[in-house]
Amino acid sequence: MTERLVGTVTVVDLDGAMTDGTDQLADKINSLLVSRQTSVVLNLAGIHYIDSEGLGQLVTCHSLLAKTGGRLKLLHVGARHLRLLSITGLLSVFETFESEDDAVRSFPELLAESSPQS
């Protein structure tokens, strides 16, 4: 798991499998919140497997950010993972993107910054 800033948005690149109920992802989100980083994109391009524990991790991270007014969005969700999110009803919870630029630009504060002043 690596993180990088793209403007004011934190992109967290994930790799491997989301299983076992480990709290690493929630710990990462909590550390971002301590740093007042509340606009987060999880890049799932490197994730090859997600089980029910992994889905629980995504929901936990979404909840942690939402409680502080933050937003979590998913990037590069493969077809298999999209189907899993759809079957579980979580596709309506998460915004998903295929382009990092689109994901980053979708945050309201960035839209407000780029709007012309009247």
Of 66, 70, 55, 62, which is closest to residue 9 (Cα–Cα)? 70
According to the model, what pLDDT value does residue 114 have? 44
Separation CA 12–CA 41 (nearest Å): 6
Q: Supply the DSSP symbol for 77.
A: -
In whole angstroms, what separates CA 46 from the centre of its chain?
13
Q: DSSP for 38-56? A: -EEEEEEEEEEEE-HHHHH
Assign domain 2-114 to its CATH superfamily: STAS domain (3.30.750.24)
Separation CA 46–CA 15 (nearest Å): 4
pLDDT along the chain (118 residues), means of 10: 95 92 85 95 96 92 95 96 95 96 86 43
pTM here is 0.88
According to the model, what pLDDT value does residue 34 have? 94
According to the model, what pLDDT value does residue 109 have? 62
Angle at 53 between CA 100 and CA 82, to 5 degrees: 40
